[in-house]
Amino acid sequence: MSTVGNNTNIFWHECPVGRPERQKLLNQKGCVVWITGLSGSGKSTLACSVSRDLHSRGKLSYVLDGDNLRHGLNKDLGFKVEDRTENIRRVGEVAKLFADAGLICIASLISPYRKDRDACRALLPDLSFIEVYMNMPLELCEERDAKGLYKLARAGKIKGFTGIDDPYEPPLNCEIELSQQDGVCPPPGAMAGKVVTYLEEKGFLEDK
């Protein structure tokens, strides 16, 4: 006997308007720019700067910010390892849908575990997953501490905080790595320019 709702009874429905048609309409190629790094490394600032740069060029993008998503889509998740994995899985699936829609999706999350980021990359096997590593030293991130989280973590009031008592696993083969130059963090506009230039060189900003 078959049960209604069983996943064996679910079928994929094709639509005559697909990704190629949407990309042609937008004159760009859908992709995911996945920005990872410690809290305070500048991920959200970079994401907004890239989106603003793309908008000025007439390109459609959307930012998926980790904190923002925890107000809605992922508000039921905590910060245990399994919850963090599910958090990234959900964002990866949503980012894939945005890319399929022809948008340049900019995901900005700490995403500390390499296996979870690699799982998101595996969702887009056509080289349309661009990993951007904000390689900023812990000391700089703690100095910024805009949300006051590092101070709480150091005081033992927050447990499992990435970079303090929970690990951050840096990418091994990211497409873009952004770091300090001579001990100085480049301005957001300069870092955003590097990301947009990469997208331009790889053909994501026009559909041909």
* pTM exceeding 0.75: yes
Which of 3.40.50.300, 3.30.2320.80, 3.40.50.10540, 3.50.50.60 is the CATH number of 18-137+168-201? Answer: 3.40.50.300
Compute the distance between CA of residue 157 and CA of residue 116 in angstroms, rounded to an integer: 26
Question: Over 90: is that where the pLDDT of 5 sits?
Answer: no
Of the candidate ranges 13-17, 47-51, 80-84, the one whose mean pLDDT is the lowest: 13-17
User: Quick one: pLDDT at residue 208?
Assistant: 65
Catalytic residue positions, numbered: 111
User: Quick one: pLDDT at residue 6?
Assistant: 65
User: Quick one: pLDDT at residue 85?
Assistant: 94
Looking at residue 27, what DSSP letter applies? T
Residues 153-164: tens digit of each pLDDT: 999 998 989 999
Sequence letter at residue 206: E
Residue spans per domain, the chain: 18-137+168-201
Residues 53-96: tens digit of each pLDDT: 999 999 999 999 999 999 999 999 998 889 999 999 999 999 99
